[in-house]
Chain A
């Protein structure tokens, strides 16, 4: 039976206190100035793809987001390139509703049942109008799942599902609108709660389980009021409902259900049954049963570890600047150049896949890949050497207060990899006052800047999270 073979999550490093916005308690996760939904999807996907079991070769990639970096140009292609998946994959972008994350997961499982192995990554950078509930209640995060059918051993099988689609004006955003709008919550609750109860019941019937058989219930939707009237008629006890990370991450759009499901899987045991419901423009419900494979199938980072690893004093004005809501005085430096299509195409394996080269003659590693070895000058005699997961450390560094950045100073570091090779690259998610020679780093996929509408993706190093 088809199900989840591997999963991964990603929560960005920065948090803004809701008190800094003047809106309640807790904090929300905020994508850094050099992140977007595609780069965060890559981070979550790397977690899910790191140790795939035998027989699981991804042949399909789906990216779900309501904040896709490109409205035309396949964002899933960025995901494919940055995770070094084969070019033979089928790739698709999904969006249009924050339900698209769970819908993509269900569609991926359908594809898995048809013999495909599918990477689904859902990711969102949720930007609300300043002072509105979407701004303070939203969050930025990503989740990724590898879905497989026969021939793969899932860590969680899909045992039941149900869907419902409703033409309703709840959350909407037309092209050109800077922020999404939402109709009054009381209306949405009255429309959605009965749909949720009904759809949830169908899913349990499909799974052949009762509400009390569920270890965990993940509830997510555009309207929190919907869930107030849900547990009693559905027969769910409050303790079955998993923490929705509202106080620590905020609701991360299309990624949110996957993120909370990932946190459920982080703590699940074989035999656990987990129901996931998303209410937006209708309802999707999926019921999973965790298998014995769970213990060998967890990612390097749990959701809790991402949540704990943070800097939580982001200034509100900085946040607004990062999201391009607040205009600001640019540095007295030229705007960065728009990267050009042919050079990016030629350098794809370096720029996206972060693949270097290893000289076949002397064994030296070259970053970026070189045709002529920097040590022995052998020509065109090297093999590909992957670096994205390479252990590395700061050889030396400097704070560049002159370079163009949305978050000066740029911290430039000479980074040496344990397996050999050196590169000069920018550090990110780092406190300039707390950097030292020898610090251990890990590589992270980022959007360096956007110029002429072209997003310039490349890798940076960050302190280990």
Chain B
């Protein structure tokens, strides 16, 4: 069985996105008000027009009240959902399927995360009461396993591997420097990336995505209604989501050079969207570059590069803003920042800008088809989301 998809049946007709970063003076509620108000304005609608809401957040609130209370939403359905770092994308997927079903005509997908109030480094989570036998490893440690495994499998020496990871960080900061909403809006010299303090394995601070606060929102309706709200809507071609059985953490044949969950979600999405050659047909992508080696592996799992070749494509500039297949043109998690629940919607926001020709200095020439990819978990044990959107 595969998903049948809703290719070209659902459209996005408005979006909003706050600046991501350390918003010491803004609460999660403030960020939600900002993003949702911008999205209302973008679609030219009033709150009354929206039939239902999906709110993605991993830890900045529980229940739909997290959204309905600050916005004073008048007695409407608000679903709060969580799917690790793919939470924001899940809000889009569930909202899109709701309008496709005909249950509602106009809905909103919203994501938010307020990470900087905790006072801790990196991400913190609240796990259910447990037996204390979990490994206790942090996200950078889990993802750091990718780099040496990839290097060994494809015969890339570790010095070159370092250059590849640095190139990814450099590229995403280069893009983020051209984005007024990004957390980090400055290019970072290669030497600084190489010399950043080590966090886990080969990974330094500059290999890690930005911990930040932010919110983003999308207004979604059926395709036939799209032009009621917006002259330049974008259309959903595919939405795919996979939760893996956690094989890699338990089976010795998993080698940490791929995410089987990503491979499957990409395959499913390409079937839905009718994509046969993603390397040629996908104009641009926003992918889950939580750590630099993640982006490297994703290029192969998503079919942008043949196996063992993504490091060369990366070094050759294929994924640069002016390359053949720009990846993370908005700066990605690395430079735009990663407020968990908002990130999937932030990726879609860049598709919205690029497809409508509104990306300013970052504008990619005439993009037709964009992809967003969102991942939650760790190598061997994760969830993966892929969307394809276009005009």
Contact = CB atoms under 8 A, between A and B. Distances in A.
Interface of A: 331-334, 336-337, 339-340, 342-344, 346-347, 350-351, 364, 366-368, 370, 374-375, 395-404, 409-410, 412, 414, 416, 420-426, 448, 456-458
Contacts of B247: 374
Contacts of B312: none
Contacts of B198: 399, 401
A402 B200 contact: yes
B327 to A, nearest CB: 25
Interface stretch (B134-142, B224-232, B313-321): B134-142
A291 B252 CA distance: 46
A334 B125 CA distance: 9
A403 B136 contact: yes
Contacts of A331: 121
A333 B135 contact: no
A366 B132 contact: no
Contacts of A350: 131, 133
Interface string B111-132: 0000000111110100101111
Interface of B: 118-122, 124, 127, 129-133, 135-138, 140-142, 144-145, 148-149, 198-201, 245-247, 249-252, 254, 256
Contacts of B245: 374
B125 to A, nearest CB: 9
A412 B135 contact: yes
Contacts of A414: 145, 256
A402 B135 contact: no
Contacts of A344: 131-132
A343 B130 contact: yes
B156 to A, nearest CB: 15
A411 to B, nearest CB: 9
A107 B342 CA distance: 65
B200 A337 contact: no
28 contacts: A331-B121, A333-B122, A333-B124, A333-B138, A334-B120, A336-B136, A337-B129, A340-B129, A340-B131, A343-B131, A344-B131, A347-B133, A351-B133, A367-B250, A374-B247, A396-B145, A396-B148, A396-B256, A398-B137, A398-B141, A398-B145, A399-B200, A401-B198, A410-B136, A412-B135, A421-B250, A426-B135, A457-B132
A410 B251 contact: no
Contacts of A448: 132, 136
A424 B249 contact: yes
Nearest to B141: A400
Most chain B beta-carbon neighbours within 10 Å: one of A340, A342, A351, A400: A400
Given A332-B121, A396-B149, A339 B250 contact: no
Contact of A399 (B135, B149, B201): B201
A412 B137 contact: yes
Nearest to B198: A401
Contacts of A343: 129-132
Contacts of B137: 398, 400, 403, 410, 412, 424, 426
Nearest to A346: B131
Given A334-B124, A401-B199, A456-B132, 18 more contacts: A333-B121, A343-B129, A350-B133, A351-B131, A368-B133, A397-B145, A398-B200, A400-B141, A400-B144, A402-B141, A412-B135, A412-B142, A414-B145, A423-B250, A424-B249, A426-B135, A448-B132, A458-B133
A114 B245 CA distance: 53
Contacts of A395: 252
**Nearest 5 interchain pairs by C-beta:** A339-B132, A340-B129, A400-B141, A398-B201, A456-B132
A274 to B, nearest CB: 41
Contacts of A400: 137-138, 140-141, 144, 200
A35 B131 CA distance: 18
Contacts of B200: 398-402, 409
Given A399-B200, A410-B141, A404 B136 contact: yes
Contacts of B249: 422-424
Contacts of B250: 366-367, 370, 374, 421-423
B120 A458 contact: no
A447 to B, nearest CB: 10
Contacts of A370: 250
A403 B142 CA distance: 11
A364 B252 CA distance: 11
Most chain A beta-carbon neighbours within 10 Å: one of B130, B137, B149, B246: B137
Contacts of B140: 400, 402
A252 B245 CA distance: 47
B199 A402 contact: yes
A426 B252 contact: no
Nearest to B147: A398
Nearest to B148: A396
Nearest to A367: B250
A375 B133 contact: no
Contacts of B120: 332-334
A403 B135 CA distance: 10
A350 B120 CA distance: 31
Contacts of A351: 131-133
Contacts of B142: 398, 412
A346 B141 CA distance: 29
Contacts of A412: 135, 137, 141-142
B223 to A, nearest CB: 39
